[in-house]
Amino acid sequence: MAATHESHPLAFWRWQLHWQALFGIVLGVLLGYLSGSAAVGDAAGLGGRWEIKLYDLVGDLFMSGLKMLVVPLVMTAIVSAIASLGQMQGFARMGGKTLLYYVCTSFVAIMIGLTLVNAIAPGERSGLSAEEAAAAVRTEGSSEATAMAELEKKTAGRGTDSVLNVFRELVPSNVLDAMARQKMLGLITFSLLFGFFITRLQERQREIMLGFFEGAYDIMIQMTFLILRFLPLGVACLIAQTSAETFAGGNVLERLTQLGMFAVTVLAGLIMHAFVVMPLILGVLARVNPMRHLQAVAPAMLTAFSTASSAATLPLTMECAEERAGASQRVTSFVLPVGATVNMDGTALYECVAVLFLAQLSGISLDFSNQLLVVVMALLTSVGVAGIPSASLVAIVIILKAVNDNLPDGAHIPLEALAIILIFDRLLDMCRTAVNVLGDTVGTVLIARSEGEHDILAEDPGARQARLRAEAG
Ligand code: ASP
């Protein structure tokens, strides 16, 4: 176990961040197993157990701690990067590269999903029909019925056209509202302009403003370090809660057997994307050692896995990309917040596999035009999906509606069939969120390399981070 300082090997708070996160995950699974299995015979169920309430509280505090940092961190990082460079030149070029990378990699992820779901055909092997899957929703009080009712509320009135709403966020009509609702695109626009106009101020005012934003950014970095001290604890509590629910709900395990091939298809796709496509991009295009990069961003991936939220993970992703993976502050502060909003490779892949799986369950074989529709819709909706847990389910409903409108008369995929993957969503959500975050960091390094703003990692990422921290005092 690599420690950053000389210390007792069991002093886990000195371990490198990825080992700390991994430790938290293993501990969380263990705690969740103990609570979940104890709750099986307990009449009060999981909700009545004090330790679950504690995990819930600590997990929420950790998530809130991370989310609390997102807006001020992103804004101060962008403003101070632009104001100190003294120019906005090159941002249009960087924006173009970012979008090109995001569109291409999401497309590749969708094509991997499409190929696998057609080849494996999990819906034809599950031994379940769409009608049976939908029946659970009609059982009053079932967990599927509750989950579906919530999803219907979220998707009410949303159709294909709502997909483009994300572009409206580019210019916020109220910047405080954009901050409150963590609308990244609007905040990025505002911060870019703010930073740029600082450079146009008279010298005295400029120095004051620059000093203020650089100082504020350093404070945000220190606060990120503070929250990271709680990484193993936060991760353990989040995982304990999720795994307790899984172990306590016999229903979920039963679903696992019915949905085994679906899960295998999704996981195989995610693994191919994360461990074949991404390393190829790193090795061939960015000329960076993929293993070093994976090690550098592992804390962010593991936190994304535990929180199932790429938005909440953003402070840690920025920290890993800059201090451990060697990208510059200018590139990191622009590419990552955009990525956490619009680039979701894992989500895009999942949406495609889920829609085709539900079509297969319904005995409908989608022709070329419908599969193309799914690909295009998955690409567009993955842009609009929020970086929060289970967000892609909303997108899947939108795609299903579009496919149903395009199917010949009589053919129909029942939306309620989605219930079968609803209650089983968390584990796959954790995996796809980790892939989403990995995709963002690979894009950051690739763009930083192309801009000449990346240090090739000659040293171990953890040691580099420790050195930079020591140098910063
Ligand atoms: N949970 C994912 C994320 O935060 C979004 C999703 O696919 O549901 O990136």
Long-range contacts of 251-257 (CB under 8 A, 24+ apart): 251/143, 251/423, 252/423, 252/424, 255/420, 255/423, 255/424, 256/424
Contacts of 55 (CB under 8 A, 6+ apart): 31, 35, 237, 238, 240, 241, 244
Instruction: Report the nearest atom of ligand 1 relative to the CA of 344.
Output: 9
What stretch of H or E contains 21? helix 17-40
- 360 in a domain, yes or no? yes
What pLDDT is recorded for position 408?
Answer: 84
Question: Which residue type sits at 455?
Answer: D
Read off the DSSP letter of residue 189: H
- 19 in a domain, yes or no? no
Instruction: Report the nearest atom of ligand 1 relative to the CA of 433.
Output: 9
Q: What value, to the nearest 5°, has the Cα angle with vertex 392 and ends 259 and 116?
A: 50
Contact 289, 194 (CB under 8 A): no
User: Between the CA of residue 469 and those of 210, 254, 419, what are the distances in Å?
Assistant: 22, 48, 47
On the question of pLDDT at 438 being above 60, the answer is yes
Give the count of beta carbons closer than 10 Å to the beta carbon of residue 205: 11
Domain tally, the chain: 1
Name the residue of 310, 350, 382 whose CB sits within 8 Å of the most ligand 1 atoms, as the mutation to test its pocket.
Answer: 310
Residues whose beta carbon lies within 6 Å of some atom of ligand 1: 308-310, 344, 347, 385, 387-392, 429, 432-433, 436
On the question of pLDDT at 301 being above 90, the answer is yes
Tell me the pLDDT tens digit for each residue of 314-352. 999 999 999 899 999 889 999 999 898 889 999 999 999
- 262 in a domain, yes or no? yes
Contact 437, 310 (CB under 8 A): yes
Name the residue of 155, 388, 399 whose CB sits within 8 Å of the most ligand 1 atoms, as the mutation to test its pocket.
Answer: 388
What stretch of H or E contains 188? helix 184-198
Confidence of residue 184 (pLDDT cuts 50, 70, 90): confident
What pLDDT is recorded for position 225?
Answer: 87
Confidence of residue 161 (pLDDT cuts 50, 70, 90): low
On the question of pLDDT at 467 being above 90, the answer is no
- 18 in a domain, yes or no? no
d(CA 449, CA 284): 12
Domain residue limits at 191: 45-466
User: Does 410 or 267 have the greater pLDDT score?
Assistant: 267
On the question of pLDDT at 58 being above 80, the answer is yes
- 23 in a domain, yes or no? no
| Angle subtended by helix axes 425-450 and 345-361, to nearest 10 | 140
Tell me the pLDDT tens digit for each residue of 71-130. 999 999 999 988 887 666 777 888 899 999 999 999 999 999 999 999 999 988 777 776
User: Does 315 or 472 have the greater pLDDT score?
Assistant: 315
Tell me the pLDDT tens digit for each residue of 230-285. 999 999 999 998 888 877 765 555 666 678 889 999 999 999 999 999 999 999 99
Confidence of residue 5 (pLDDT cuts 50, 70, 90): very low
Q: 3-state DSSP call for residue 3? A: strand
Contact 139, 423 (CB under 8 A): no
What pLDDT is recorded for position 306?
Answer: 92
d(CA 13, CA 17): 9
Place of tokens 């289970």: 390
Tell me the pLDDT tens digit for each residue of 202-216. 989 999 999 999 999
d(CA 430, CA 151): 19
- For the chain, what is the mean pLDDT? 86
**Domain CATH code at residue 264:** 1.10.3860.10
Place of tokens 């809130």: 64
- 328 in a domain, yes or no? yes
- 7 in a domain, yes or no? no
Tell me the pLDDT tens digit for each residue of 67-78. 999 999 999 999
Confidence of residue 57 (pLDDT cuts 50, 70, 90): very high
- 34 in a domain, yes or no? no
The CA R_g of the chain, rounded to the nearest whole Å, is 23
